[in-house]
Amino acid sequence: MKYFFLLITIVFLSCKEETKKTPDFVEKIIPSTDILYAKGFSVEKQPSGVTIIKITSPWPNAEAVFTYALIPKEKAASMTLNRDEYDAIVTVPITNVVVTSTTHIPVLEALGVEHTLVGFPDTKYISSQKTRKLISEGKVKELGQNETINTELLLALQPNLVVGFSIHNENKMYETIQRANIPVVYNGDWTEETPLGKAEWIKFFAPFYGLEKEADAIFQDITNNYLAAKELATKATNKPTVLSGAIYNDVWYLPGGKSWASKFIEDANASYIFKDTDDAGSLSLSWESVLEKGKKADFWISPSQFTTYKDMTENSLHYQQFDAFKKKEVYSFASTIGETGGLLYYELAPNRPDLVLKDLIHIFHPELIPEYSPTFFKPID
């Protein structure tokens, strides 16, 4: 439930802030990493070896651009930068880090640097067995809740870097951390609107470890797998209709037509019933309007936190009017959880869109990959 309502809240929150002046670089800047799908960041390298990362979408509707300078350790003593031109200056490669979103965990593991993680807020939401082992061994400290991180404990850890995320520009906690000379950088992977755009944020993490080539190779594999699955879906002889979401307090929340979730359905060669809406986030509709368009939908995915038909019926009798419910064609990722209750989908799916797409193709077109074992989406009980 926490995840569902948090995501709903995020969709509708937006704010404005003053735009930070972009630094005027003396040296000629050359691209060091090609960003192909992500819209929220760029990575550039100066001939001196300094890497410049710009974050243009730290949260929805952000107007500020955050600029970070990464200086190689061997050059840090002989190089001077104007700190007023940067939101953070980081000496790289880093050896320990605090991250604040479960979506950051699979990236660290993919790059083979999960051992550098020293602290995390709400560790119970981490599902990965590899990182859970580090937590159980006391190598990753619990830092409290994300909204109220235990800054005293974090400062005692003295991380080289804190990777934060925020839904607005009021971030006093991060300001406190920065005043202690611990650099904070914003990660906006969750604001991306395309599956491959989210996954490409592995290239944001890579320069902090000097692993750009490794990140490029990892992302290329994910892209190849995703595009191959998308091509496979075009071989289906039918295009089923799809419903999504569920009711909360008499309002049906479901993905907008320009959202990440809608794109998955499209690429799986299915027709999302609200694909024609312009919203990139969530829609808030009456159950009657959803029934009007979705009563005859062939499939129903992501029905909020529900994992059984019994729970859905007890929550609302309206669900029984939908054909997908009657035919037992409702699928959820809510039953795929880690040992402490974290939902694997919210952790891994943004980083592995190829697995999400294959799950949906298996649901909508089982004849195309009949032996496939789903990672996230499974029939509800």
pLDDT band at 190 (very low <50, low <70, confident <90, very high): very high
pLDDT reported for residue 42: 97
pLDDT, one tens digit per residue, over 219-269 is: 999 999 999 999 999 999 999 999 999 999 999 999 999 999 999 999 999
Instruction: Specify whether 192 is located in the same domain as 257.
Output: no
Return d(Cα 330, Cα 300) in angstroms, integer: 5
Specify the range with the lowest mean pLDDT, choosing from 9-23, 138-152, 182-196.
9-23
DSSP letters along 158-199, please?
A: --SEEEE--SSS--HHHHHHHHTT--EEE--GGG--SHHHHH
Instruction: Specify whether 267 is located in the same domain as 214.
Output: no
CB 213 within 8 A of CB 112: no
Instruction: Specify whether 202 is located in the same domain as 350.
Output: no
Exposure pattern of 196-207 as b/e (b: 16+ CB <10 Å)? bbbbbbbbbbbb
**Which has more pLDDT, 146 or 192?**
192
pLDDT reported for residue 33: 66
Domains of the chain: total: 2
* Closest of 14, 56, 63 to residue 282, by C-alpha: 14
User: What's the CATH number where 218 sits?
Assistant: 3.40.50.1980
In a domain, 229, yes or no: no
In a domain, 142, yes or no: yes
Return d(Cα 41, Cα 206) in angstroms, integer: 13
State the chain's mean pLDDT as an integer.
90
Q: Region 168-181: what's the mean pLDDT?
A: 88
Report the interhelical angle of 353-364 vs 212-233 (nearest 10°): 10
Instruction: Specify whether 212 is located in the same domain as 249.
Output: no
CB 244 within 8 A of CB 254: yes
Report the interhelical angle of 260-267 vs 353-364 (nearest 10°): 50
**Residue span of the structural domain in which 346 resides:** 234-379
Element (H, E) at 222: helix 212-233
Query: Does the predicted model carry a pTM greater than 0.95?
Result: no
Instruction: Specify whether 204 is located in the same domain as 313.
Output: no
Instruction: Specify whether 201 is located in the same domain as 304.
Output: no
Instruction: Specify whether 287 is located in the same domain as 372.
Output: yes
Domain's final residue, options 176, 199, 224: 224
| Tokens 């980081």 sit on residue | 90
